[in-house]
Amino acid sequence: MTPTLIAGISDAAGRYTPAERQSSNRVISSETASKLRLMMESVVSAAGTAPGAAISGYRVAGKTGTARRIDDSCGCYRGYTASFIGFAPADKPKFVASVTIQDPKGIYYGGYLGGPVFKEVMSFVLKDQHVPPTQKSDGLYPLDEKALKKKIAAEQAAQENQTKRNH
């Protein structure tokens, strides 16, 4: 289904007409989407860049952003824009929320500033919409080199064991 912003329109007499359904095309495979979702869930893990966005009992996924701001008066960079956009439940997405903070003072990282705001808003939405808690993720992606090498080694060992069993 194609995302839409308008569900329908009402005329002056109050008659509601639903918006026409839009056609949609898959742009990435379901396998790639699943991997990307797990990567984005890793962002809100304890080892991620936005642990403050995690919501107890729910799988949550997101992306942080921190950008330098251009100052038109001098043509130079001055200040930052911090952001966090996420969705929940991550295993069966229903809601998306984006938090953007223009020119924060002091700490300016998107995960640090936007994550807790996302958590507060999304927690309200999930509760208000009676979305049941979700199961824990099968496995998140490692976010540092040491953990990544350990995961790759474990996957290779599992593959070798499987190959030995098949022969």
Condensed to tens digits (0 to 9), the pLDDT of residues 135-151 reads 877 667 666 777 777 77
Condensed to tens digits (0 to 9), the pLDDT of residues 80-120 reads 999 999 999 999 999 999 999 999 999 999 999 999 999 99
Given CATH 3.50.30.10, say whether it is the number of domain 8-166. Answer: no
Condensed to tens digits (0 to 9), the pLDDT of residues 4-48 reads 677 889 999 999 998 887 777 888 999 899 889 989 999 999 889
Map 59-109 to HEC letters: CCEEEEEEEEEEECCCCEEEEEEEEEEEEECCCCCCEEEEEEEECCCCCCC
Q: What's the pLDDT score for residue 138? A: 67
Domain boundaries, the chain: 8-166
10 Å CB burial of residue 71 (0-12, 13-18, 19+) is exposed
